[in-house]
Each structure stands twice: as C-alpha cells, then as structure tokens.
Amino acid sequence: MIKHQGGCHCGQVRFTTEYDPMMIFQCNCTRCRRMSGTVSVGAMFGSSEVKITGTPKEYTCNGGSGMLVHNHFCTECGTRVYTMPEAMEGFMGITLGAFDDSLQFEPRAEIFANYKMKWLSDNGCIKESFEEGAVAERIQLLMENLEQRG
C-alpha cells in the first residue's frame, strides 16, 4: 500500500513508498543552499524503499563530507526530487517539497549548522544539531528511527 508519494513540479518524475521516512533533516551546507535557495530539507529512506518513475537527470558534485552526492532533477521543470549521497550508501534523501503531503513533516535534525543563515529559525522541532556533516551521527539516528517507524 502506498503511504507517501510525490514528484517534480510538472509530474514527469514521480516517487512512491510504503514507508515513513527514517529521518527528516535540514541541511545548511553551501551546496544545498545554492541548489535550493536557502536550506534543503530532506526525508531519508533506504534506496530500495522508494520507487521512482520517469527519467531524472543526474548532477553529481562534492558534498560537505567530501564524498560525491548524486542529485536527481526533472529534465523538464528542473525540480530536484532526490539525492543519493555516497557518504550514506544505500540511502536516499527525497526533497521535502516534492512530497504531495509535505505539510505533515518537520525536520528533527540539522547538519552544517555553522553555515545556517542567521535569520533562519525553527519552531522547536530540531532536536539534534551538528556543525558539520556528522555522517556517523546521522547514520546512528537513522538506525534508531528505523526501529521506531511504522
């Protein structure tokens, strides 16, 4: 049964999943800021938990970890739908704004907090904040959340 779905602005790239996200996080790194305008908020899933339809274009760049991040965009409307960071092999981050039901989600953790725009604040939902990429800490949070999700 499909639990969540979404896609790009024009609908050419879509995704479905039967799972809740393992974690919602906010990334403040300069790469994400340049790609999204201010900050990127993503929902993490195991790569095998999400079905993608359509053919996105891949743009690969160095992430804050120093490892490659594979960004997947719609070739028609340019929406970045998901990323696959090599630092977290086997996981994918779906851009929160790409969900059809995105209003129900809030980030629990933020990374690269030392690059966060000074005027940006949250409503108290951020429980974990890491100045750098905190790959090991993010994987630990993912594993903890994996045990708790429905």
CA distances from 141 to 27, 61, 125, 137, 148 (A): 15, 25, 15, 6, 11
pLDDT per position in the chain (150 positions), as tens?
A: 889 999 999 999 999 999 999 888 888 888 888 888 888 889 999 999 999 999 999 999 988 778 899 999 999 999 999 999 998 889 999 999 999 998 888 888 888 888 787 887 877 777 777 776 666 666 666 666 655 555
CB 84 within 8 A of CB 69: yes
Instruction: Enumerate domains of the chain plus CATH numbers.
Output: 4-144 (2.170.150.70)
